Structure 1
Amino acid sequence: MSVEARLAELGLTLPSAAAPAANYVPFVVSGNLVFVSGQLPMSNGALTIKGLVGQDVSVEQGKEAAKLCALNLLAQVKAALGGDLSRLKRVVKLTAFVASGPEFTQHPEVVNGASDVLVEILGDAGRHARAAVGAPSLPRGTPVEIEGVFEIA
């Protein structure tokens, strides 16, 4: 099943690939890899949620934010591939940042929102290496930012 068909089956749509907010590019293609810059939980050009996970944002809300970051990652991969997601072979690695206070320890559970949706969409090709780390703050007040590396044909 194609990635697009699987997205439709799951009732998911990819957002438009966001333009960079500073002096960087949203992705770099090098050989058979696409390196995607950190993506925020953006929808229709706006941040969907702000705050620290465990204080202003619940773990469940953080998971939803991470899921939206993953969809934004796929939108960037689609842009990198000229709209042809059939060339996507697998997710190689995610690096995720969770804005939280010093006592918060559920970073992996939050980032599972991204990992779970990628496996739902891509099956085994969605399984990946991962880092989930805490940060005292993230750009624009977002609770989650995720970057990724993807293998392409």
Structure 2
Amino acid sequence: MSTIESRLAELGVTLPDAPAPAANYVPYVIVGDMVYVSGQVSANADGFIKGKVGADMTTEQGAEAAKRCAISLLAQLKAACGGDIDRLVRVVKLVGFVNSTPDYVEQPKVINGASDFLVAALGDAGRHARSAVSAAALPLGVAVEIEAIFQIK
């Protein structure tokens, strides 16, 4: 088991298989030492995590949905690295979209679910630049979608 996957296991997380793309795009693109991962939507073993934060979901529930996006991002990274996730140098950037009501203003707290998880799992390599924005709707009615840029060796 890799060092990163050992740390994930300590946190009670096992990486799932990387989700397949749902349309005409690729799940990731590698350019030099950078991996650009397509947006990963909130999902768990039971299916998509749907809802609108500020209406039928709390900020805390949104943060848990964002954490699930981060787990999918790491699964895609592992696939991009041919199964060797320890090639990760650092998380460079996250762009997070929150399906929220027009008056909801805590998008950063929702995306903290992903950011906090990545720092807990990866230490300083998990610290990153990021954006957290509202969306009137997201694909399939999911609560959160996050894309990422990673540096690998």
Decide: shared fold, TM above 0.5: yes
Give the structure 2 partner of residue 58 of structure 1: 58
Contact 2:93–2:130 (8 Å) recurs in 1: yes
2: CA distance between counterparts of 1:113 and 1:145?
Answer: 12
Give the structure 2 partner of residue 27 of structure 1: 28
**Are residue 104 (structure 1) and residue 94 (structure 2) matched?**
no
1: CA distance between counterparts of 2:64 and 2:30?
Answer: 28
Letter in 1 for 2:26: V
Deviation at 1:46, TM superposition (A): 2.2
Letter in 2 for 1:5: S
SS of the equivalent of 1:72 reads helix
Give the structure 2 partner of residue 3 of structure 1: 4
Q: How does 1:1-153 map to 2 (within 5 A)?
A: 2-44=3-45, 46-47=47-48, 49-153=49-153
Deviation at 1:10, TM superposition (A): 1.1
Letter in 2 for 1:33: M
2: CA distance between counterparts of 1:42 and 1:17?
Answer: 12
Cα 1:75–1:30, aligned 2, differ >3 Å: closer, same or farther? same
Letter in 2 for 1:95: V
Unmatched 5+ stretches in structure 1 = none
1: CA distance between counterparts of 2:9 and 2:46?
Answer: 22
Count of matched residue pairs: 152
After superposition, give the CA deviation of every residue in 1:103-135 in whole Å (9 maximum; x if it has no partner): 000000000000000000000000000000001
Cα 1:19–1:74, aligned 2, differ >3 Å: closer, same or farther? same
After superposition, give the CA deviation of every residue in 1:24-62 in whole Å (9 maximum; x if it has no partner): 000001100000000012234821x21110101111110
Contact 2:111–2:132 (8 Å) recurs in 1: yes
Identity of paired residues, percent? 61
Deviation at 1:21, TM superposition (A): 0.3
Letter in 1 for 2:11: L
SS of the equivalent of 2:54 reads coil
SS of the equivalent of 1:69 reads helix
Runs of 4 or more off by more than 3 Å in structure 1?
none
